[in-house]
Structure 1
Amino acid sequence: MSSLIRLPEGSVCWPVGALSSAAQDVHHAQTRIARGADNAPFLSGITRWERRYADMLAWVEWNWVEMDEGTVVQADPLNVRSNVLLLDERGRPLLSSRRRATLATLVYLLPWQGAVLDELRQSAPQRRVSASAAAPMRLAA
Structure 2
Amino acid sequence: MSTLIHLPEGSICWPVAALSGAAQDVRHAQTRVHLARSGERRAGGTTRWERCYADACAWLEWDWVELDEGTVVQADPLNVRCNVLLLDEHQRPLLSSRRRAMLATLVYLLPWQGPVLDKLRGLEAPRRVARAAQRLAA
What is the TM-score of this pair, normalised by structure 1? 0.90
Mapped partners of 2:25, 2:3: distance in 1: 32
Could you tell me which residue of structure 2 aligns to residue 2 of structure 1? 2
For residue 127 of structure 1, report the CA deviation from its aligned partner: 1.4
Structure 1 residue runs of 5 or longer lacking an equivalent are 135-141
* Structure (1 or 2) with the greater helix fraction: 2
Mapped partners of 2:22, 2:79: distance in 1: 19
What is the TM-score of this pair, normalised by structure 2? 0.92
Counterpart AA for 2:66: E
Could you tell me which residue of structure 2 aligns to residue 78 of structure 1? 78
Counterpart AA for 1:95: L
Could you tell me which residue of structure 2 aligns to residue 13 of structure 1? 13
Is 1:67 equivalent to 2:67 in the alignment? yes
Counterpart secondary structure, 2:107 = helix
Mapped partners of 1:34, 1:56: distance in 2: 29
Mapped contact 2:35–2:42 kept (Cα < 8 A): no
| CA root-mean-square deviation | 1.9
Counterpart AA for 1:99: R
Counterpart AA for 2:68: D
Deviations 1:14-59 (A, max 9, x none): 1110011110000000000012313321100000000012311000
Could you tell me which residue of structure 2 aligns to residue 107 of structure 1? 107
Counterpart secondary structure, 2:23 = helix
Poorly superposed stretches of 4+, deviation over 3 Å = none
Counterpart AA for 2:62: W
Mapped contact 2:46–2:63 kept (Cα < 8 A): yes
